[in-house]
Amino acid sequence: MDGPMAVSALLSKLEIPRDTVLVIRDGTLVPGDAMLGPDDHIEIRPVISGGRS
């Protein structure tokens, strides 16, 4: 990542549909329009569970 980038831009660059993940920084949610810096540590957490019962 060169320079700051919006969460939504990062997800589309990675081709991840926005509704299938949450972006988490320091234990809290980062909204789609938030800017991420090159030093930010984020978790992209999938939210889809597959089990059926």
- CA 23 to CA 44: how far, in whole Å? 5
Q: State residue 48 phi and psi, 5-degree precision.
A: -90, 120
Q: Which helix (H) or strand (E) holds 5?
A: strand 5-6
Which of ligand SF4, another protein, none does residue 7 bind to, with CB < 5 to 8 Å depending on kind? none
> Is residue 46 a contact point for ligand SF4 (CB under 6 A)?
no
37 near another protein, rule: CB under 8 A: no
Instruction: Return the residue of 14, 15, 27, 41 that touches another protein, per CB under 8 A.
Output: 27
Which of residues 41 and 52 has its CB atom nearest to ligand SF4 in the complex?
52
Strand-pairing partners, residue 22, are: 45
